[in-house]
Amino acid sequence: MTQIQTGLLILLLTFLGVVGYNVYLHETTPNEISYTDFVDQVQNDKIKAIHLKGGSVKGEDISKREFCSFIPDVPSILPLLNEKSILITAEKDSENFGGTLKSMLPIFLILGGYLIFSRMQKGDKPGFGKGKSSSFHPIKSTNLTFDDVAGISEARVELIEIVESLKHPDKFSSLGGYIPKGVLLQGPPGTGKTLLAKAIAGEASVPFYSIGGSDFVEMFVGVGASRVRELFTEAKKNSPCIIFIDEIDAIGGKRSGGNASGSSDEREQTLNALLVEMDGFDSNQTVIIIAATNRPDILDPALLRPGRFDRQVTISLPDVKGRRKILEVHAKKIVMARGINLSDVARGIPGFSGAEIANLVNEAALMAVRKNKNAVELSDFEEAKDKISLGLERKNLVIKEKDRRVTAYHEAGHAITAKLLPETDPVTKISIIPRGGALGLTQQVPLDDKYTYSREYLENRIKILMGGRIAEEIVFHHQTTGASNDIVRATEIASRIVCEFGMSTAIGPIAYMHEQDGFLGASTATKPYSEKTAQLIDAEIKKLIDQCYTETMELLTTNNKFLHKLAEALLVNETVDGEEMEIVHHCYINELEIEKNLKNKLKEG
């Protein structure tokens, strides 16, 4: 009998039990009558004896039929009962726990049957410690190979040796070496850690066990440790094989040393069991553990030592070449128009992970379908990129003409500052169409991936962010809240220049901010310095921002006509790309040349 058939039989028996119990209650429960009928029967000498319990009354009539009723005022009915010589027995009223339990029994039966059926459907056996263990069934072989993994060539080369060790274990032991027991894949979300683990199993053609770290954790102490032991027992039977534990930080976090009673909690017992099992393989058992996490900083040191996770492979965000390769993999699944240069698309999405690139391709295909196109065009990729990065267009948002003009000058201020300053990324798009929480946007895309930044580049970033607020002041002579996010970002850059990058002449090459329990490279501010140093840091940050503000004010004031021309182009077209901005700038330069020539002629004349 299969598990589903057994479960259905349990549900059927539960249903029959509930029906039978209801029939029993119906047959054994006395007939309930109203208080009026009870009084009438007493007056007509149809009742011989009754039993009182609080206001409830049970008894038999002259036909020996049982009944029950409720008396709202017992003392008022006693004279009538005495007059009719009715035998009265009574007991003290108390909470009717048994009656409550009887009424709840069908619910307990149904709930118990449902839970048993649910567990058996998942392949679980009833009982603690066995809950999820029977789900540890290997995938005999995944259909993925290294050809399906793009953009992480360095990590792939590092892991080819793991595949070779699974295929030819004797080759590595012939010189006295041993196969790595564990590989930790660490990197930001969406970079392809899980995909890479499946590709390793597919290349080696070995059984593949996949489980999440949270699947070991339960509220009952010892359950997680039991599941770990059962998983490894099952894996050893199918050696050689791969065990993949996703999000291992759920059970592999640093141990706290136990609670006040000296005992470990459930997560720590699970981790202890995992550490023991990873050390317990025989030499003839080839079981490789691959784990993935985006929080390697919180993992227990015992988990990371050689002999457990021998190799730690960092999978970073793909560079422009990697993004192109990932695009090529996912572009095979859609119908693309001819002439689309995926290199241009890859350059326009810096910082995108593999998962985000897959989502971009899918969104572009959906955009094309929505517009009834026969193939996905470059414009669909651009629109999908804006949707993912900036949010949906808020086409139904009604904006006053005054606010629209303020937004146009604000975005023009950003764009012109970026255009005229050196060491900046090219402007690719300016728009005053509201998206997400923003009323407009100025988009810059670097020509190449950047890994280091000069002080000039960072200062110019501050100036670009300040350009919007300054344009509003120059044209409208007032300030709005539209620059709030720009100010936050500018302050953050200035703080990192002074406190983290050591680029301040007053502070010197000293870091007052360091990485502490951050998210894979993120830093958290600490304050291991005096109040005097804090005042110096605040003064230096303010000095840097004030200097950038003043220089940007001079730049935009000098190019006031360019600001007006670009803002008017935005008000007419709503969106201006990089080429159109170049045309506006060229017209501005020509006008300056004409004005200069006229002035020279007037002087000569």
| Greater pLDDT, 137 or 477 | 477
Distance separating alpha carbons of residues 264 and 520, to the nearest angstrom: 28
The H or E element containing residue 43 is: helix 35-43
| Residues 103-110: contacts with CB under 8 Å, at least 24 apart | 105/21, 106/18, 106/21, 106/22, 109/14, 109/17, 109/18, 109/21, 110/14, 110/18
**CATH at 346:** 1.10.8.60
Report if residue 119 sits inside a domain. no
Among 130-134, 158-162, 498-502, the range with the most confident prediction by mean pLDDT is: 498-502
Report if residue 128 sits inside a domain. no
Q: Is the pLDDT of residue 126 over 70?
A: no
Range of the domain at 156: 133-256+265-314
**Annotated active-site residue in 203, 411, 459, 540:** 411
Residue 366 sits in the same domain as residue 437: no
Distance separating alpha carbons of residues 596 and 127, to the nearest angstrom: 90
What's the pLDDT score for residue 375? 92
Report if residue 125 sits inside a domain. no
Residue 178 sits in the same domain as residue 284: yes
CB 185 within 8 A of CB 197: yes
Q: Is the pLDDT of residue 8 over 70?
A: no
Count of domains observed in the chain: 4
- The four Cα atoms 21, 22, 25, 27 give a dihedral, to 10 degrees, of -110
Residue 307 sits in the same domain as residue 361: no
Residue 33 sits in the same domain as residue 62: yes
Residue 301 sits in the same domain as residue 325: no
Report if residue 602 sits inside a domain. no
Report if residue 89 sits inside a domain. yes
Residue 372 sits in the same domain as residue 448: no
Domain boundary among 78, 98, 118: 98
Residue 170 sits in the same domain as residue 308: yes
**In sequence order, what are the residues at sequence separation of 6 or more whose Cβ sits closer than 8 angstroms to the Cβ of residue 427?**
415, 418, 419, 442, 443, 444, 578, 581
Q: Is the pLDDT of residue 4 over 70?
A: no
Q: Is the pLDDT of residue 303 over 80?
A: yes
Domain boundary among 98, 114, 141: 98
0.75 cut: is pTM over it?
A: no
Query: Per residue in 10-40, pLDDT tens?
Result: 667 766 766 666 666 555 566 777 777 777 7
Report if residue 113 sits inside a domain. no
What's the pLDDT score for residue 475? 94
Residue 309 sits in the same domain as residue 361: no
**CATH at 12:** 3.30.720.210
Query: Per residue in 388-426, pLDDT tens?
Result: 887 777 777 778 889 999 999 999 999 999 999 998 999
Mean pLDDT of 285-314: 85
Distance separating alpha carbons of residues 250 and 289, to the nearest angstrom: 16
Q: Beta partners for 525?
A: 513
Q: Is the pLDDT of residue 64 over 50?
A: yes
Distance separating alpha carbons of residues 298 and 275, to the nearest angstrom: 16
Residue 585 sits in the same domain as residue 514: yes
**Residue 95 among the catalytic residues:** no
**CATH at 408:** 1.20.58.760
